[in-house]
Structure 1
Amino acid sequence: MDAKAKKTALRGITYGLYIVGTKDENGTANAFAGNWLTQTSFNPPLVAVAVKVGTRSQEQIAKSGVFSVNILETGQKDMVTAFFKSLEPEGNKLAGYEFYTEETGCPIFKDALSFFECKVVEKVEKGDHYIYVGEVINAGVHREGDPLTLKETGFYYGG
């Protein structure tokens, strides 16, 4: 296989860029920037998210069985970039961004366009990421707008 062609082809897959919220066994909030996310079913409403094996976030989802997804708005590159590294909460803020919690106890960011919360119903362990399938159990909209995409940031995933 031509490695360059493979990389170019895989980078042609379109992605959004989201903040995925998690929590530990004490309810302490955590979040990471995620881009591999898709809806897999309408009824029940299911989504799949890929999470890198061995990360704090992956371990928290495995233990808690829940996660949140925050849909960011076009132009929020700085916000999502802040979640590419490990963070510790400061009160009700992560990376300086205010959050609150609802059904799952995972962070919901006030600056996000919208959010949904999921209960894990399936886990697939393959490669260097786990795929968690979550049933959407709560959702909300903060405001209307266009979602942030990976392409707009100039970042790449795949290859």
Structure 2
Amino acid sequence: MDEQAKKTALRGISYGLYVIGTKVGDDVNAFTGNWVTQTSFAPPLVAIGAKKGTTSTDGIHDSGVFSVNVLETGQKDLAFSFFKPVSRVGNKFGDVEFYTQATGSPILKDALSWFECKVVHEYDGGDHVIFVGEVVDAGVHREGSPMTLSETGLFYGG
């Protein structure tokens, strides 16, 4: 197989950019992710990919819940805030405010919209874990266009 052709072809898959949160014991955690897709309308199911060996992935596995915060176009700085571990104090990750709803997973006040899921399936996805969750709550903070990975200038895949 032509490795460069494989990378180019796989990078042609379009991605959104999201902040995915979960409960970690009595605490919360979040990371920036882009492997998110709806897999069913009835019941409403969403699949996410989470890197193995991380606090967030372990938290999703242990708690059985996660939130997906849909970022708005132009929120590159907010997305980049969750590429690395970020300190949490009270209801803030650094200076990013959040609140919780049904699952206790963090919902970012500045996100465009959000939804929360209860894990119904978990699969080994190579270097990631694939979690399929049923949507149990959702909300919209404002109207707008969702952010995509392409606007960041980053590439993921291949």
- TM bucket normalised to smaller: over 0.9
Paired residues, number: 158
TM-fit CA distance, 1:95:
2.9
Aligned-partner Cα distance in 2 for 1:62–1:97:
25
TM-score (norm 2): 0.98
What percentage of residue pairs aligned between the two structures are identical? 65
Aligned-partner Cα distance in 2 for 1:126–1:72:
25
**Aligned letter for 1:59?**
D
State the partner residue of 1:117. 116
Gaps of at least 5 residues in structure 2 are none
Q: Does 1:24 align with 2:24?
A: yes
Give CA deviations for 1:47-84 in whole Å, capped at 9, x if unaligned. Answer: 00000011110000000000000001000000000100
1:39-78 equivalence runs, <5 A: 39-78=38-77
CA contact (8 A) 1:30 1:88 kept: no
- Runs of 4+ residues deviating >6 angstroms: none
Structure 1 range deviating more: 136-145 or 89-98: 89-98
> Which one has the bigger strand percentage?
2
TM-fit CA distance, 1:158:
0.2
TM-fit CA distance, 1:16:
0.1
Give CA deviations for 1:6-59 in whole Å, capped at 9, x if unaligned. Answer: 000000000000000111112x11100000000000000000000001111000
TM-fit CA distance, 1:94:
0.8
1:1-159 equivalence runs, <5 A: 1-26=1-26, 28-159=27-158
Q: What value does the CA root-mean-square deviation take over the aligned residues?
A: 0.6
**Aligned letter for 2:67?**
S
Aligned-partner Cα distance in 1 for 2:29–2:113:
18
**Aligned letter for 1:20?**
I
SS of the aligned residue for 2:129 comes to strand
SS of the aligned residue for 1:7 comes to helix
Gaps of at least 5 residues in structure 1 are none
**Aligned letter for 1:92?**
N
TM-score (norm 1): 0.98
TM-fit CA distance, 1:90:
1.2
Aligned-partner Cα distance in 2 for 1:75–1:22:
24
